[in-house]
Amino acid sequence: MENLQAEIRRNSRILMTHQAIMSLTIQSIVALGPLAMFEMTRSPVLSGLVSAITWGGRLSVVVQSGLLMDRLGRKKVLAMGVLPACLGPLIVSWAALNGDLLTMVIGLGATGVGVGIAMQNRVAMTDMYPSHQRAYAVGVLYTASIIGSIVAPFITWVAESLTHSIALKPFVTVWLICAALVAVSLPVVLSMRLDPKDIARLVDNPRSVQMGSDRFDAARDASAVQILPLVAVFVSSATSQGNMVMMMGLASLYLFDLGYSQTLVSLAVTIHVIGMFGFSTVLGRLSDSIGRRAVLVAGLLLSGVGSLIIPSTGDHLVVDAGMFLIGLGWSASIVSSTALISELVPVGVKGKYFGLNDMVLGISSLALPLIGGVMITSHGFFYLGLLGLVVALAPIPLLWERIGLYRLGPQKVKLDT
């Protein structure tokens, strides 16, 4: 058992490193991509599409990657995601330098594919911990993203300082650095000695190894899934995710429209990402102790309030506060919903259902930034904030056990602990 705990700690550190690199990459693409797109097209709607295309790129692989995780294990699939995650920033950089809109779209989509596969690392993380620690484990994983958040504005500042020396646009320099770091993550992922799915079998049912059972009964696991509670969780996490993507990308455009520098725009996104990841461990412990749904609802409320604050002023500090609240709300929502899904779905089909959840997240991340861009064009930034408020609050009734969808069958053990 001591050797198993050592492997869990080692794998956790590997997954945290992987998470930090991917977080830096997606933050840099989503924060600076709208500026590059606006420079090319002068269109707020197309600028909003940067987030939509990037996150929407996940749609093409999330279910397949989840199924592959169930079949091949977690490590191999995470390694597969490194290639598109590395090529994406390189393609986007080339497109920005040449003003090629179609190539920009391809690069954003490739980045989304790679990051979509990479974000399945939360499946691997929940595999290795018992039920009462899963939200905490997810929180620890997401806390690693704070490293990428801290590094992002520094890299942007360096890139802006070197503009005249290397004759590259600042966002291009940032994306090239991200591509190099993603490449480094491949040997890191491959250094896992014991696949997290194998660890899950030992954690959930240690006697299965002693009895010679080396695989899960997929049919039995599939029959144990409760669909209605999953739908409530899927919708809640999707609205939180879509609202976060919409506001993170378009708030950057809002600050840029107010005349702030790229460094200050990146700083605002960094504050947002600190909200997303800086307190995720604390929120994970809170979710483990007082209940998943309570923390999930609180997260939706915070996200709605933050959305309304952002366009209410031109003061950078107030916008930063709104960005922080959206990030904190997203963190509470995603940590709790991830723990809920991991408990409502058995290990043998966990990859599949996390993939389905990611598909719903991808649809929301694709649709809401586009709707937000249209809202800005037709009504202005203030109505974008109202849209964010409505979207965030809409799924809360679904989580009420009496009138919503979150209803556990009488023969099931209640897992909302």
Which two structure tokens, joined as six digits, stand for 104? 């920009």
Could you state, in order of their start, the residue ranges of all structural domains in the chain? 2-197+221-399
Q: How far apart are CA 136 and CA 405, in angstroms?
A: 25
Encoded tokens for 332? 């509470």
Q: Two tokens at 109?
A: 């989509």
Per-residue pLDDT tens listing for the chain (417 residues)? 568 888 999 999 999 999 999 988 988 888 788 888 888 887 776 776 787 788 677 777 888 888 899 888 999 999 999 999 999 999 999 998 888 899 999 999 999 899 889 988 989 998 999 888 888 999 999 888 888 777 877 888 888 777 776 767 888 888 999 999 999 999 999 999 999 988 987 876 544 444 334 444 554 555 566 777 888 899 999 999 888 888 877 777 777 777 677 667 777 877 887 888 889 999 999 998 888 888 999 999 999 999 888 888 778 788 888 889 999 999 999 999 988 888 888 877 888 888 888 888 878 877 888 788 788 878 877 888 888 899 999 888 888 765 555 555 433 434 454
On whether the CB atoms of residues 104 and 95 are closer than 8 A, the answer is yes
Q: Residue 31: how many CA atoms within 13 Å on its side-chain side?
A: 31
Fold of 2-197+221-399: Growth Hormone; Chain: A; (1.20.1250)
Q: Which of 355, 351, 341 is nearest to 72 (CA)?
A: 351
| Three-state DSSP class for residue 107 | helix
CA distances (Å), origin 115, targets 58, 79, 309, 322: 7, 11, 29, 25
Q: What pTM, to 2 d.p., does this model score?
A: 0.74
Would you state the structure tokens that stand for residue 373, as one six-digit string?
A: 């861009």
Euclidean distance between CA atoms 369 and 220, whole angstroms: 39
Cα–Cα distance, 243 to 373 (Å, whole number): 12
